[in-house]
Each structure stands twice: as structure tokens, then as C-alpha cells.
Amino acid sequence: MKQKFARLSHIVAGGAGLVANLLLLAMLGAIGVQVVARFAIGAPTVWAEELARFLLVAITMIGSAALIEKNRHISIDVVVDVLPKGARIAVGWLRDAITLTVCGLLAHYGWLLVGIGGRQTSTGLGVKMSLPYLAIPIGAALIALVLVLSRLGRVSEEG
């Protein structure tokens, strides 16, 4: 059963990583258009900088889900590394509980922001702000899902 959870976690995290990489390419394209328009043509675009900003938020949220499966987030583990194995495992579980709590709060308040964004329109792209705000609850839900699946896939490890 652990292998199924680990495999599902790997699939979801891999999909999130693929989406984040595609969004990164789109962001780099938008920034390239902005640079060319501003410096080569002398007529900066209104939409490219805004699109790049929205994509950066989406990349951060969705990319975090891809990173969390393998514990590739930035961490300061000097103190944790000197703890005995049992304490390291307990700290890992505590870290995961805190992360899930934060993800729940992000998903909840992000969803409220999506509702508010439905009444606002972005200046550059002219889209409802609920669309770029969706990255927050979707990313938080993906992070939580990958965290739970990967933890269930390695229940006894210190992770």
C-alpha cells in the first residue's frame, strides 16, 4: 500500500513540476517580449509585465508541490541533524503538521480571494483577477496532497 501512495505522490508531483516548467517558459517568453518591445522597438507592452508577475506566483505555488515530495525546499536543519533518530522523526511529523495547517489556511483564504477577484479586472490583461488568484488555493491544495501522499508512502521514515 505504501508503494501505491509513493507512486501516486510521484505522479502528482511530476505533473506539478511539468506544469511549473511550462509556466516558466511562458513567463520567460512574456519577459522576452517585454524586453524586445521596450528596448528594441521603444513601445513597451501593457500586458507582458503583468502576465509575468501572475505566472511567477503560479510557478511558486505549483512548483512547491513538485519540490515537497523529495524535501527539496530550503531548510535549516543544523539542529535537526544532531538530534537522535526518534527526535528527527518527531520533528519531521511536526513540520508536516505545520505545513498542512499553513496549506489549509492558504487554500481557505486563497479561495476567499478568488471570490473577491471575480469583481476586479486586471489592468494589463483585462482578465478577472479570480483567474490569477486561483494559483493560491490550487497550489496550496497540491502541496497538501503531495505532502500527505508522500508521507503515507514513507510512513516510518524520518522524511
Give the integer Cα–Cα distance in Å for 155 and 143: 18
Q: What pLDDT does 130 receive?
A: 96
Could you please report the per-residue DSSP string of 90-128? HHHHHHHHHHHHHHHHHHHHHHHHHHHHTT-B-TTT--B
The grid coordinates listed for 49 are 509585465
Q: What pLDDT does 79 receive?
A: 84
Q: What pLDDT does 66 receive?
A: 92
Q: What pLDDT does 1 receive?
A: 80
Q: What pLDDT does 143 receive?
A: 96
Q: What pLDDT does 7 receive?
A: 92
Give the integer Cα–Cα distance in Å for 56 and 49: 11
Q: What pLDDT does 157 receive?
A: 54
Query: Domain ranges in the chain?
Result: 2-153
**Residue ranges in the chain whose pLDDT is less than 50:** 158
